[in-house]
């Protein structure tokens, strides 16, 4: 789980071309926060003088609406000033939407807020992100929970795809192939919107994977097969 989470965050934290320093994670964070704020504005719990226009901005222009680096983005600046009160309510809404526990969602909501509201010119932004996620005494179960929660939050605003490639080495280690296949299946079952693609040569699939896979797991992993001649 740790190596997969590391790969996901490295891809998410790449600076976008012509993005002015923004990363994929910036855009995801803004869209996730906007989605969590929307029902609070709709219910009136978060006051707004022009509720309909505020809702329209959250739905249609979440990236611009939650631009923490634009002083004229009123919603973003208000959220930044009131996050200590807003964070728990955002967490509750997003936890309900992802059918996840409050604690792991709260952890990511705070981290995404801190990341996306930090100065873009701050060279330590990504290093601080990785230190927060992987530092300390985290165990593998924590990493699995963090990965599942991040993918489920991402699934609220996009369609995450996880690709396993370059698996030729498993031909000499079928036990490792079984462990990886079991992990990916468990991850796929925990993340409703996650699409899983395994790119593997036929001979490696037949020698490294099939002999060890239980029938149920084999059927799930080979639910859709695209055979490239």
User: If you average pLDDT over every residue of the chain, what do you get?
Assistant: 88
pLDDT of residue 116 exceeding 80: yes
* The predicted structure's pLDDT at residue 188: 86
pLDDT attached to residue 145: 92
- Pairwise pLDDT comparison (28 vs 50), residue with the higher score: 28
Model confidence pLDDT, tens digit, residues 122-176? 778 889 999 999 987 666 668 999 999 999 999 999 999 988 888 888 777 878 8
pLDDT at residue 93 greater than cutoff 80: yes
> Mean per-residue pLDDT for 19-34?
92
45-91 pLDDT per residue, tens: 877 778 888 888 888 999 998 999 999 888 888 889 999 999 999 99
Global pTM reads 0.87
Q: Distance from first CA to last CA of the chain, Å, rounded?
A: 32
């Amino acid at each position: 789980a740790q190596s997969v989470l590391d790969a996901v965050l490295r891809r998410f934290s790449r600076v976008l071309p012509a993005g002015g320093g923004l990363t994929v994670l910036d855009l995801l964070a803004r869209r996730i926060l906007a989605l969590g704020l929307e029902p609070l504005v709709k219910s009136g719990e978060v006051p707004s003088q022009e509720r309909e226009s505020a809702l329209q901005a959250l739905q249609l222009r979440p990236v611009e609406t939650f631009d923490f680096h634009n002083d004229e983005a009123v919603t973003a600046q208000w959220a930044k000033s009131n996050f200590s009160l807003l964070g728990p309510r955002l967490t509750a809404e997003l936890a309900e939407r992802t059918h996840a526990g409050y604690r792991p969602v709260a952890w990511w909501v705070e981290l995404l807020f801190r990341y996306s509201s930090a100065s873009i010119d701050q060279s330590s932004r990504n290093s601080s992100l990785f230190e927060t996620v992987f530092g300390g005494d985290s165990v593998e179960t924590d990493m699995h929970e963090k990965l599942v929660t991040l993918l489920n939050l991402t699934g609220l605003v996009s369609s995450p795809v996880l690709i396993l490639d370059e698996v030729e080495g498993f031909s000499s280690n079928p036990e490792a192939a079984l462990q990886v296949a079991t992990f990916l299946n468990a991850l796929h079952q925990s993340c409703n919107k996650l699409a899983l693609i395994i790119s593997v040569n036929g001979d490696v699939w037949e020698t490294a994977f099939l002999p060890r896979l239980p029938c149920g797991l084999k059927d799930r992993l080979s639910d859709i097969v695209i055979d490239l001649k």
